Amino acid sequence: AQQSNVTAYGATAVAIISLEAFAGMWINAFLVCVICTAWVKKKTLNSNEKILLLLGCSRFCSLCLSWVYYFLSIIYPNYLYVHTIFQLAIFFQSFFTHCSLWFSACLCVFYCIKIANFRNRFFNYMKVKIDRIVPWLFLGSGILALAVGILAYDIAAKPHCNNRNSTAQGNFWKGKIKMDKHFFPSFFLAGFEYAASFMAVIFSAVFLLFSLWRHKHKMQTNSMNSLSVEAHIRAMKSILSFLVMYSINFVCLVLEMVYVTKKASHMTFLILVFRYTFPGVHSLILIFSNPRLEKALLKILP
């Protein structure tokens, strides 16, 4: 009876996670396809579209790899917990997850610098140079994500070095729990990246909100000011929605550190449910905050 309950729990969990993962992959694939189509037509992309393109690609890859990893760990664990395959799965999953994290933070910073209005020499310099700075932000994001991926790969390799039999049938959970003892350096670096990107999002939201408040007080009744306020509000909706979801995501990271050694824990499952929901829902918000993407989406919906 206990075995059947575990099997039913695993089947239900796989079904829910699969539904969320495929929905998120479809949304991000749509985002990437629309931007690539515009790229082919215009032969060029602006900085905002470049960030959205890389964000959509990283989220699609992250969801795809995470779903494959979760599916195999529940249904066919013996095919996953073998040398090299396990380490590569952990490496690419960590790399694309943190790429998505940093690209989304870059998007918030880009919105803030492009839209906010402040009489500050440094801020005005950043506004002029932001398009040239964006490629360097991509490079920095990739390096930070790569650092987490390499550390995760090294940590995942330790149990296999210590115990070659840890992946034998009926014994893979023992190897997994041994690996949990080495998780803390990885969580420290990942937590630092979450905190740094979280602070970037908070400052972007605060600066945009303050800029909107100042602009509304000085606003006149001409159309250009109205369009500027509309741009502020559209960016604020996107950043504030991301701020709320990002806050919950940060809490989930902390809870994951607490429940990392709990096998089939209900809290672990709830954390997974939100973390699979986050990439799709936020990308959907970005689509509806962009008039061209929203129009393209409404065309294909019934």
Taking Cα atoms as reference points, which of 72, 17, 25 lies closest to residue 272? 17
pLDDT at 178: 47
Residue ranges, the chain, pLDDT below 50: 1-6, 163-179, 221
| The one-letter amino acid at 216 | K
pLDDT at 284: 87
| pLDDT tens per residue across span 99-140 | 988 898 888 888 888 877 777 788 888 888 888 999 999 999
What CATH number belongs to 1-158+176-300? 1.20.1070.10
Give me the helices (H) in 43-84, please. Answer: 47-75, 77-80
| pLDDT tens per residue across span 205-226 | 788 778 777 776 666 545 555 5
CA distance 5 to 212: 54
Helices 183-218 and 223-259 sit at what angle, rounded to 10 degrees?
A: 160
pLDDT at 1: 45
pLDDT, mean over the chain: 77
pLDDT at 28: 93
b/e for 212-242, b at 16 or more Cβ within 10 A? Answer: beebeeeeeeeeeeeebeeebebbbebbebb
pLDDT at 22: 92
pLDDT at 138: 92
DSSP class of 103: H
Contact 103, 246 (CB under 8 A): no
Domain ranges of the chain: 1-158+176-300
Taking Cα atoms as reference points, which of 209, 215, 182, 194 lies closest to residue 105? 194
pLDDT at 168: 43
